[in-house]
Structure 1
Amino acid sequence: MKSRGLTVGFVTTAAPPSPNGQARVLGQIVTDDVAIPIFMTDQMNILESEQEHIGRHYKLSSPEFRLVNRSLGRFQGLNRAGGLARTAVTRAREVVAVLRRDPVDILVGCSGNPFDLSAACLAARRLGLPLMAYLFDDPVYQWEAGLYRHAARLAERLWSRSARAIVVPNEVLAADIQRRLPKARIHIVRNPVDSTAFSAPPRLLEADPPTLLAPWRLLYSGSVYSAQADAFENLKAALEIQGGRFVLELYSAQSSSDLVAKQLATPYFMARPHVSHMTALSLQHNADILFLPLAFNSPIPEVIRSSAPAKLGEYLAAGRPILVHAPAGSFVAEIIRKADAGVVVDIPDPDRLSDALHALSSDVHLRKRIVCNALRLARDFHVDRAKNSLSSIFEGLTRQEDKRFSYN
């Protein structure tokens, strides 16, 4: 691809380098395979200035969630719908203006808000560009039932007719999208793990029995919000059952949020501020147990079921035992269970979580088996495999474009 000088534009909620999971995936997956990536986003403020910037960045205007800034009474729903529609049209106009100055070969619209996919679709049509939709989550069901979900469902009918390829991170989301869009060309590209995550050798899995002075350390790094809240509550109860034999070290930008500081307050949760990606990888390699939660009681259960957290591959590559607490049938629970790559508790039961913690701490053979299987499964998430998959998709899109014009 580099030899062809292919350029790709991305309309995205968050652009690399930033701590956002979507931005991290994009930063890893396009660096070597795209000659000049162009990122268009309204969240330029979260770019990490100390990190190396790749490609070029263009700021889009902030979204407008209402058509007029005053109450319209019983027409307030129409006011909000009009704001979303106007934002999509305005954003499309801005994307067109950027790409006329800085042309690309392919335009990628990413999920994450109610308007980027529609804006990318309108811009691609205006410029005659092939469109790829990159779905990090379900673009319809990531919104609670109501106006946004209804608008997203209507938008899906628009952008899906233009998208020549749809990329998703796992089989569960692929099946959900295929049911809604039977004619869509859907490709699975795993949320990648950089080779640095594989660099540290696994720690010895033997350990002395835990004591109050040296409890077993669970680790979670990343966002803490409604997509994990009740799973953390169950863990809190399980740790209290264990009475100090286990503690959770939680590294998150939400470490001081009300959820963490109040609702989840316990002597066994140690909330730490957000750390850099490289520091998080080091912490993962040195934890006793890696905790991977997803909510059981969520207003968007469809998204929980098809969620593919960016940290999943990193956890697999860390060489540490993984404890998954996620609903039965979810992608995370099923891929770990099928590969025997961790211990899965798929019902919201603190007693079962407590039993799982005891099993992990007391059974060295269990720990060795699941870690070996996790390292084997981690290869499927290696960044090189993801890059090769995306490269093939881009090449297929350009071949389609060449073929289309050869008939004119």
Structure 2
Amino acid sequence: MYSIYSDLKLPVKINQFFQKVQIPLANNRLKKIINHVKPSQILSIYPEFFHLKSSFDVSNQLGIPNSIYFHDALYEGLFNSYLENSALELQQQIFRKTKNIFVISDGLRDLFNEKYKTSSIILRHIYNGAQNTSFEEINNRQAFYCGSIYGINFNSLRRASQALANEGYDFNISTITNYYYLLRKNIVKSKKQIKFIPEVSEFLSHLNKQQILIVALDWPDESTIHKDELSTIFPTKMMEYLSSGRPILAHCPENYFLAKFIINNSCGLVSSDPSIENLSHVLRKLNNSSLCKELGQNAINSSSIFRGENTSLLLYKTLNSSL
């Protein structure tokens, strides 16, 4: 596939112009690949807008059946960006013309069904990595977060950081987000809190040493991100979190899919009030070793739904039935 560069390090308007100019080049490259490979169908994947548009347009031009996989909501994910209108137009075309629409989670399936009256198939993330088999009690007052930090979560993580400090926890973060950004947002106080861990085995080992794991999403009234995007996000590191068997603390509204998943699977606790006081109250519940054991074991049990054989078999059967 032709690489469509999203950031050419040019002024914004020029950068946006060159993004769009690259699409015909990408389409021509994709057509050459299709003519060589002669696929029976195409699976287009989002969250990259231009690649999704290119594969969707080319498959329709050539009359090849096309299935779509949504890692995120399309229109809602690009809300308040210069691609907002283009995303809405493309989404409407996809919903109208595409037979198989796959989504990452129950939350995204419910959004498409309730908001757009569009049916979709849940194709969950795959996690075939190491998995603990039983809960191990740890009382080292270590808390850990892994992932990017930006408009979806910096307010909620700031509150989590303060509550953890109030309750005597050391809060460490693995992220590629700039340290000085985190310092300005009062999420960290020291560089020692930041440790990017790219190696999988080291990352999993680090998870196993934590007393609790943190995940957070902002409330709609404190974020520029569309409320339907926030409410359907399911962080990709949740699979490793669950497999580690460590208790999870989520800070987000209770009507978000992330909160519903944790509550329904009893694999963690949810602080659904945007206050440091509520977070501290929920954190103190995790001083109960029996509760932590129950949550940790449930996390391990619930991680089984992300095993690769479940997802690959569903994908194979669905695409095969479309031939």
Q: How far does residue 204 in structure 1 lie from its aligned partner after superposition? A: 2.3
1:312-327, aligned counterparts within 5 Å?
312-327=238-253
The alpha-carbon distance between structure 1 residues 247 and 61, as it changes in their structure 2 partners (threshold 3 A), is same
Amino acid at match of 1:335: F
Identity level (%): 18
What is the aligned counterpart of 2:266 among 327, 340, 347? 340
TM-score, structure 1 as length reference: 0.71
**What is the aligned partner in structure 2 of residue 60 from structure 1?**
3
Cα 1:237–1:353, aligned 2, differ >3 Å: closer, same or farther? same
What residue number does 1:265 align with? 188
Tell me, yes or no, if structure 1 residue 156 matches structure 2 residue 97: no
Residue 288 (1) aligns with residue 214 (2)? no
Deviation at 1:189, TM superposition (A): 1.3
Does residue 234 (structure 1) correspond to residue 169 (structure 2)? The answer is no
Residue 63 of structure 2 is matched in structure 1 by 128
Task: Report the Cα offset of residue 201 of structure 1.
Answer: 3.9
Report the equivalent of 1:197.
Answer: 130
Match of 2:201 in 1: 278
Tell me the C-alpha RMSD between the 2 structures.
Answer: 2.6
Aligned partner of residue 152 in structure 2, secondary structure: coil
Q: Is the 8 A contact 2:109 2:119 kept in 1?
A: no
Aligned residue pairs total 318
Q: Which residue does the alignment assign to 2:254? A: 328
TM-score normalised by structure 2 residue count = 0.88
* Pair member with larger Rg: 1
User: Matches of 2:172 and 2:188 in 1, distance apart?
Assistant: 13
Judged with a 3 Å threshold, the aligned counterparts in structure 2 of structure 1 residues 269 and 149 are, in CA distance, closer, same or farther, namely: farther
Aligned position for 1:247: 170
For residue 192 of structure 1, give the secondary structure of its aligned residue in structure 2.
coil
Structure 2 unmatched ranges of 5 or more: none
Structure 1 CA distance for aligned equivalents of residues 204 and 11 of structure 2: 47
Q: Secondary structure at the match of 1:147?
A: coil
Contact 2:254 2:270 in 1 (8 A): no
Out of 282, 307, 316, the residue aligned to residue 382 of structure 1 is 307
Distance 2:206 2:50 in 1: 36
Give distance in 1, aligned partners of 2:38 and 2:201.
34
Distance 2:89 2:217 in 1: 28
Cα distance change on mapping 1:162 and 1:64 into 2, 3 Å: farther
CA distance in structure 2 between the partners assigned to 1:334 and 1:169 by the alignment: 15
Opposite residue 246 of structure 2, the aligned amino acid is R
Q: Following the alignment from structure 1 to structure 2, what is the Cα–Cα distance between the partners of residues 351 and 323?
A: 14
Correspondent of 1:359 among 246, 262, 285: 285
2:5–2:19 Cα contact (<8 Å) kept: no
Give the whole-Å Cα distance in 2 for the aligned partners of 1:92 and 1:277.
35
**For residues 190-242 of structure 1, what are the alpha-carbon distances to aligned partners after superposition, in whole Å with 9 as ceiling and x for unaligned?**
11221x232x343522x55xxxxxx5111112222222211111012212322
Aligned equivalent of 2:223 = 298
| CA–CA separation in structure 2 for the residues paired with 1:326 and 1:166 | 28
CA contact (8 A) 1:217 1:289 kept: yes
Question: Cα offset for 1:277?
Answer: 2.6
CA 1:269 to 1:179, structure 2 compared with 1: closer, same or farther past 3 Å?
A: farther
